[in-house]
Structure 1
Amino acid sequence: MNRTRIAALLTVSAIMLTAMGCGTTSSESSPENTAGPTTDIDAGVSTGLADMPSVGISADLAANAAASTESVIKPATSTAYASLPDDSFLYKGNVISVLNDVDTTLKALGKKDSEQTSLYTNEALYSFDSHAIELETYKVDGEELPKCIYVIASGILTPKNICVGCSKEEVIAAYGEPNKVHDDTFSAIEYNFDDTNIVFDIYDEKVDRITIENVETSSKVVQ
C-alpha cells in the first residue's frame, strides 16, 4: 500500500473517531433503572413536562410524551392541563378519567394488550401499551363499572405534575400531607377526594405505581 493511500485512510479514521467522540452513548444519557419489584418500566425521576422520561415506553406513548413536552412552552396549553381534575390525566392526547364510563375509557386508551376476567369476583382487568396502564372494572347487576386505573409507566403525569419515578418528597410537595400512610405489606401514601382516591406506591423513596380509584364503585364491591 503506497504512502498516499495510507495517509488517506488515517485521515478518514481520525474523522470517524472525532465524530464518535462528539456524541453521548445511550448508557450515559439514560437514567438508571430504579423501578420497584412490580414495575419493569423505567422509573427515571421527572420533575416536569419538559423532563419526562420515556425509556421502556412504547413508541406511541413516547410520542405522546414528546408532544406534551413541546406544548408546555405554550401557557394556554399548560394552564389547560393543570386545570384537569385529580381523577384525570392525559394519554395520547385524550383525557382519561376513572369517573368516565367503561366504554369511553376503553376507546380512549386504544388497543388492549390483554383482558382478564373473574366470574367469582365480577372483576376484569384490561392492560394497555405493554402494561403502561391498566383499567380494573367491577360488575354490579350486570353493569360494568370503572373501579381503578393503574399508571405503571413513567412519563404519564397527573395534573399536579407527578409521575412514576418522582420522589416521595415531590408528591407531598405537590399534594400536601397524605390522608393515609400505608406501611404494612407495602409502602404507599394516599390522598382522598370527593369522588376519587389516589394512592402512590412508594419503593426506594420513589413512586412505583399510581392508583386512581373510583370511590363509588369501590363502595359497591362485595368483600
Structure 2
Amino acid sequence: MNRTRIAALLTVSAIMLTAMGCGTTSSESSPENTTGPTTGIDAGVSTGLADMPSVGISADLAANAEASTESVIKPDTSTAYASLPDDSFLYKGNVISVLNDVDTTLKALGKKDSEQTSLYTNEALYSFDSHAIELETYKVDGEELPKCIYVIACGILTPKNICVGCSKEEVIAAYGEPNKVHDDTFSAIEYNFDDTNIVFDIYDEKVDRITIENVETSSKVVQ
C-alpha cells in the first residue's frame, strides 16, 4: 500500500470520527431532547418542585410550583361580600359557612389535601388548596359537627373585606373595637357574634390567620 493511499484513508477516518463526536454533542445539548415531568401534576397542590433544582423541569411548571407555595388565592368578586353573614365567606364561587353541616362544607371546599383524625379527642382536621383553608370538626354521639374554619391564605375575604395580610388597624376599622384581646402566647383580637366567634391572629401588626368558630359545637367539646 503506497503512502498516498494510506494518507487518504487516515484523512477519511479522521473526518468520520469528528462527525460522530459532533453528532453526540449535538444530541446531548439539544433542548428538544431534554424532557421533564410536565404532565400529570396538579398545580393547585404543593409539590415541592419550587425547592428542587430547575434541571429537567419546564419553566412553566417550576413557576406554578413556586406560586403554589405562596398560598395566595385570587379574591372572588362574583358576589357582594356585604350581603354575606359574618360566619361566611366566598371561596371559588361557593359560600362557605362554619354553621353549615360538614358534608355541605366539604363538598363546597372541593378536593382535600389531607385529612387528620384523632380518636382520642374526636376531632378531625381537613386541609384544602395547599393548606390555604382548614376545616376542624368534632364528633358528638357519632355525629361530625363543624367546629372551626381556619383561613390561612391571602385573598379570601370576610364579608367586611378583611383578609390575611390586612393591618390590625384595618380590622378594627371594619369590625370596631374587639370583644377580647389575646396577648398571652400570641397576639390576637376576637369578635363575638350570636353563633360564631371570629379571631384574627396578628403578627407584625398584620393578620396572619383568621379563625371562624362555631360557638354551639365548641360548647360541646369535652375539656
Indicate the TM-score class for this superposition, using the shorter chain for normalisation: 0.5 to 0.7
Give the number of the structure whose alpha-carbon radius of gyration is greater.
2
Deviations, residues 127-175 of structure 1 (Å, cap 9, x unaligned):
0000000000000000000000000000000000000000000000000
Q: Write the distance in 1 (CA, Å) between the matches of 2:150 and 2:141.
A: 24
Deviations, residues 65-124 of structure 1 (Å, cap 9, x unaligned):
999999999999777321100000000000000000000000000000000000000000
Q: Write the distance in 2 (CA, Å) between the matches of 1:173 and 1:185.
A: 25
Which segments of 5 or more consecutive residues in structure 1 lack a partner in the other structure?
none
Does the CA contact (< 8 Å) of 1:153 and 1:164 recur in 2?
Answer: yes
Q: Write the distance in 2 (CA, Å) between the matches of 1:34 and 1:200.
A: 48
Q: Write the distance in 1 (CA, Å) between the matches of 2:34 and 2:108.
A: 30
Percent identical among aligned pairs is 98
User: How many pairs align?
Assistant: 223
Does the CA contact (< 8 Å) of 2:113 and 2:128 recur in 1?
Answer: yes
Which segments of 5 or more consecutive residues in structure 2 lack a partner in the other structure?
none
Indicate how the Cα distance of structure 1 residues 144 and 202 shifts in structure 2: closer, same or farther if over 3 A, else same. Answer: same
Indicate how the Cα distance of structure 1 residues 52 and 118 shifts in structure 2: closer, same or farther if over 3 A, else same. Answer: same
Does the CA contact (< 8 Å) of 1:115 and 1:125 recur in 2?
Answer: yes
Indicate how the Cα distance of structure 1 residues 44 and 118 shifts in structure 2: closer, same or farther if over 3 A, else same. Answer: closer
Two-structure CA RMSD over aligned residues (Å): 12.3
Q: Write the distance in 2 (CA, Å) between the matches of 1:30 and 1:114.
A: 40
State the TM-score, normalized to the length of structure 1. 0.66
Q: Write the distance in 1 (CA, Å) between the matches of 2:102 and 2:115.
A: 13
Which portions of structure 1, spanning 4 or more consecutive aligned residues, are displaced by more than 4 angstroms?
Answer: 1-79
Partner of 1:203: 203
Indicate how the Cα distance of structure 1 residues 69 and 40 shifts in structure 2: closer, same or farther if over 3 A, else same. Answer: closer
Does the CA contact (< 8 Å) of 2:113 and 2:131 recur in 1?
Answer: yes
Deviations, residues 171-210 of structure 1 (Å, cap 9, x unaligned):
0000000000000000000000000000000000000000
Does the CA contact (< 8 Å) of 2:36 and 2:58 recur in 1?
Answer: no
Q: Write the distance in 2 (CA, Å) between the matches of 1:3 and 1:162.
A: 90
State the TM-score, normalized to the length of structure 2. 0.66
Indicate how the Cα distance of structure 1 residues 30 and 72 shifts in structure 2: closer, same or farther if over 3 A, else same. Answer: farther
